[in-house]
A and B are shown apart, each in its own frame.
Chain A
C-alpha cells in the first residue's frame, strides 16, 4: 500500500476472490446438505470463518518466512539474524510482519463469523469475545509452533527439511475448516496429536458455538498451544546449539528480505 494504492487494492481483490473460492466447497456442502454431520449450515459457516480468520492472521503476521522458518534455516539465512543486536525471536517475528498481505482472508473470516453469529443468534458477551480472542491466538500458536518444531529439523538436515513446512501447511489448510465430530478414535488422534489440525478451528468453534461449554474445552486449545510452544522452544534451542557447532554449509539468498 505504501508503494501503490492501485497495487494494494488489486492485491486485496484477488486475495479476497482466491479465499472465497478456497472455502466455497465446504460452504456448498453445508448448503446442499443443510450442514455437515451434527453441524448446522451456519455453524459450518462459523467454523469456516474462524479457520479463514486464523489462516489470514497467520499469513498477515508470520507468512513471510517466519511461518516457513525451515526455508531460512535450510538456506543458511540464520547468519543474517545472528549478526543483529536483538533476540533471535524478535528478529523472526518482526521480519515476518506483513500487515496488508492476507488482509483479504482476515476480512472474509470476520465477515463469515459475523454473518453466522447473527444467523445463529449467538449471545456475544464480553467473556465470549475474550475467549474468542484467546482461542484465535492459541490456534495461530498451535500452527506456528508446530511448524517451528518441524522446521527446526533444518538445523540438522538443511537440504532435506528446507521445504518441510510447505506440506504441513497444506495439511492444515485443507483440513482445518471441517468438523471432526464422529471420527473414530484413531482418526481423531491423527488430527489432534500427529497433526493438531483440530485445534485450528474445530475445538475453539465447538466452545464458541456452545456445542461444548465446559471450561476444559475453552482452555484446551490455549493449553495445547502452550505445550507445543514449549516443545518448539526446546527443539529450536537444541538446533541453535547444533548450528553454533556446525554452522551452515549452504547459502541461498532466495526469499531473503524480499
Chain B
C-alpha cells in the first residue's frame, strides 16, 4: 500500500496527542565542601529541572515528525513518555487511544522504539535469537513474523549478519538489526531517538532511506529525534522544536527557514584577491579570488549586495545557495540562548 502524502492527513487521523504535559525532575545539588556534605544529609539542596512545560502536540497517521532541540531541551524525556518508560507529572498523553503508562502492555504492542545509544539485541547471542525472542514475547503469529522478517531482511540487508553474534556487529549493522527488531511486530508508530548517532555516511544514508521507504510502504507514523538537522530535513515533512521544555516551533522546514532567518550563502569570484566589504553580509572566507559570505535574505537583497561589490571590484562569477539547515538551527539555538541569558 502506498501511503498518502506526508501532510495530507485529517483531524480524525490523529494518532499521538499530548495535552498540557509537564515533567519536572529533581536534582540533588552537591559540592566538594565538607560542610555541604553534612548539610545535604539533613536538608538536601534540590534543583528543579522543568524538562517539559505544557507540551501539547498532535501527530497524524503516516506523518514523519522531526523532534529537535538543543541538549537538555526535553527531547528524550518526550520519547520516554511516549514509550511508556516515564509517566507525566501533569497533562494527558493519548497514543492510538491508549495511555502509554497505564495501558503499558497493550500499548507497547502497537509501537516500536529505537534508542540510538542502546540496543535491544541479546548481546552474546546471534541476531536471529533476538528476533526469535521478540516473536515469542510479542506473540507474533508465525505467518506474519515470516512475512515481516523477509521484508526486513531485504530492506535492511540483515542476511549478511543474521547469524552473527550481536556483539560482533558494526555500529551500522547493529542499528539496522535494532530497527528490524523494532519493526518485526508491525508497529503503527515508530519512535526513533537518535537513530543515526555514530553511523558513517553510508550507513546513515541506508538507515534514512529505509525509514522513508517504511513510511511510504507501510504508512507507519514516525517520530524521530536527532542532532543532525540535515538528516531530519531529509526525512521529515514537519519539525517540532522544543526549547527549555516548551514547543518553540511546529511547522515545516521551509517556514522555519523564513521565519527565523532566510540564511543564504553568497560566493563571488572577483578579479582581485581582496574581498569586497559588503554591508549586511558576513564575510566567511576567501580562497584565492573566491570570497564567501553569509547573509539573511529576508532582510538583505542579493541585488544590493552585488551592486555594492561591483562598485569595489570586478565580479567574474556569482553563486548563491541556501545555508545548510544545521546553520539555521544553530542560529536559532544561539538566539534562544541569548534570550535565556536576557530573560532567565
The chain A residues found within 8 Å of chain B, CB to CB, are 79-80, 82-87, 91, 244-247, 249, 251, 253, 256-258
Residues 106-129 of B, flagged 1 when their CB comes within 8 A of A and 0 if not, give 101100010101111111110000
Smallest beta-carbon distance B192→chain A, Å: 13
Contacts of A87 in B (CB 8 A): 105
The reply to whether the CB of B89 lies closer than 8 angstroms to some CB of chain A is yes
- Are A257's CB and B89's CB within 8 A? no
- A93 → B minimal CB distance (Å): 13
Q: How far is the CA of A82 from the CA of B77 in the complex (A)?
A: 15
Contact between chains at B25 and A244 (CB < 8 Å): no
In contact, A257 and B122 (Cβ under 8 angstroms): yes
- A251: contacting residue among B83, B104, B118, B120, CB under 8 A: B118
**Apart from A86-B105, A247-B77, A256-B123, what 12 extra A-B contacts exist at CB < 8 Å?**
A82-B84, A83-B108, A84-B137, A84-B138, A85-B138, A86-B137, A91-B137, A245-B86, A247-B85, A251-B117, A253-B119, A257-B123
Per DSSP, are chain A's interface residues mostly helix, strand or loop, or mixed?
loop
The total of Cβ contacts below 8 Å across the A-B interface reads 60
Q: How far is the CB of A96 from chain B (nearest CB, A)?
A: 13
Given contacts A85-B138, A86-B137, A253-B123, contact A244 B87 (CB under 8 A): yes
Given contacts A80-B120, A253-B123, is CB(A85)–CB(B105) below 8 Å?
yes
B14-43 CB mask vs A (1 if < 8 Å, else 0) is 000000000001100000000000000000
A253 in contact with B105 given A82-B84, A83-B113, A247-B86 (CB within 8 Å): no
- On chain B, the residues within 8 Å of A257 by CB distance are 121-125
Whether B145 sits at the interface, judged by CB under 8 Å, is no
Q: How far is the CA of A127 from the CA of B140 in the complex (A)?
A: 43
A-side contacts of B86, CB under 8 Å = 244-245, 247
B119 proximity list for chain A (CB < 8 A)? 253
| Contact, CB under 8 Å: B85 / A79 | yes
In the complex, what residues of B have CB within 8 A of residue A80's CB?
118, 120
Interface residues on B, range: 20 to 34
CB distance from B172 to the nearest CB of A (A): 18
| A85 in complex: contacting residue of B109, B113, B122, CB < 8 Å | B109
Task: Name A258's closest neighbour in chain B (CB-CB).
Answer: B124
Which chain B positions have C-beta within 8 A of A251? 117-118
CA distance A257 to B108 in the complex (A): 20
Cβ of B225 to closest chain A Cβ, rounded Å: 16
| Residue from A82, A245, A249 within 8 A of B104 (CB atoms) | A82
Mark contacts of B69-85 with chain A using CB atoms, 8 A cut-off: 1 yes-contact digit, 0 otherwise. 00000000100100111
Please indicate the chain B residues that have their CB under 8 angstroms from the CB of A253 in the complex: 118-119, 123
Provide the bound-state CA to CA distance between A246 and B123, in Å. Answer: 27
In the assembled complex, B101 has its CB within 8 A of some CB on chain A: yes
Distance from A251 Cβ to chain B, minimum over Cβ atoms (Å)? 7
A8 to chain B: closest CB distance in Å? 15
A56–chain B nearest beta-carbon distance, Å: 22
Give CA–CA (A150, B139) in the complex, Å. 33
User: Chain B nearest CB: distance from A114 CB in Å?
Assistant: 35
Q: Determine how close the nearest CB of chain A comes to the CB of B89; give it in whole angstroms.
A: 7
A selection of 16 A-B contacts at a CB cut-off of 8 Å is A79-B80, A79-B118, A82-B85, A83-B85, A84-B138, A85-B105, A85-B106, A85-B109, A85-B137, A85-B139, A245-B86, A246-B25, A247-B25, A247-B85, A249-B25, A257-B122
